[in-house]
A and B are shown apart, each in its own frame.
Chain A
């Protein structure tokens, strides 16, 4: 998917104070670990206050990915950034619950828009447009 040296890397996008990660398809163990590392480095470098992980493209989940999500949330919290997981599919949610991974420390949202609202302060009813610098 990604040519050259960046093979198997998930891109981390920066939107103002928020980092946006979109995971498409199945995440390999090595890619997940790479992402974990990239995220912590980017947070430290940019001073981001929020991380949005969009997993609406993930159809299959295992206990490893569940743990990776929990660890990303924990390490981001250490770097003063809040993590929101977005767009989890019903089947994935059921699988995680059946695995016993309820991920209590993790914030969740239905859409990226809601996640942005959640991270950039309390908003009124409806989606507020995000003004990016």
Chain B
């Protein structure tokens, strides 16, 4: 692709930008290395920052070469995607908001703009061509911003997914309190996925331990809305179908008020204020009691 047409006019702004990036690679990398984005991420040595900046310049040149300046999925970005993601993550760990990272990326355009302008003026390019080149450059940097944001977002999403899985594993232990009595202390907000896990683990434990009484302790559940109540009712109904009785305990006064205000009918569910009350109820129903030993007093 010739940079200039045969008659000396300027027709290919994308190619112009590509050639400019390749020509000035060293100079741009040096100036980018001083920008906060590179300086603060690659702290080991300045050379490291310069190398990283060079990799990004090369990637931009390759994208311009493929004439896909508007495409964040362009093949040219794939080589630096991981590095850009690392930079984005490092900056957000340093406490920057997504907007701040974005404007730091935008500021990478300035070190490119003036040299490009100077080069074009030197070559006595017509005004229209200069404008087209500038637009191409702006679009290219914009696409770079999108790539960084995409990568950072998907990494954040992966982290959230991982933590959600960990939470599911950690937060639902089934405890055997007595022969035939199991308890699940629920901690945190109950959503559909979690309550499903709670229901399954509780019912499995009921079968495994032949437990006739299952206590659902909601002391650690901050709020009870109609959805949570519905999940509780479902668990209670399922346990009953299997031949176990469910007791809901740990209903704090505020939650009791909420339940009444919402008009939720927990009439079919045995409820107790605390876990101790629930255990006492279950023991009583099993025919076992706790008696003070006269000799030990």
Contact = CB atoms under 8 A, between A and B. Distances in A.
A68 interface: no
B242 A114 contact: no
B242 A108 contact: yes
Interface in A2-49: none
B240 A108 contact: yes
B239 A93 contact: yes
B287 A102 contact: no
**Residue among B211, B240, B242, B244 having the largest count of chain A Cβ atoms under 10 Å:** B242
Interface in B232-265: 234, 237-244
A111 interface: yes
A88 B240 CA distance: 10
A56 to B, nearest CB: 9
Given A94-B199, A94-B203, A88 B237 contact: no
A50 to B, nearest CB: 15
A110 B240 contact: no
**What bracket does the count of chain B residues touching chain A fall in?**
20 to 34
A96 B238 contact: yes
A90 B206 contact: yes
Contact of A90 (B204, B240, B287): B204
B206 A110 contact: yes
Contact of A125 (B234, B244, B286): B286
A94 B201 CA distance: 12
Contacts of A104: 268
Contacts of B34: none
A124 interface: yes
Contact of B241 (A88, A111, A114): A88
Contacts of B244: 110
Nearest to B208: A90
A85 B203 CA distance: 16
Contacts of B204: 90
A72 interface: no
B26 to A, nearest CB: 65
A90 B211 CA distance: 13
6 contacts: A85-B243, A90-B206, A94-B203, A108-B240, A110-B243, A111-B210
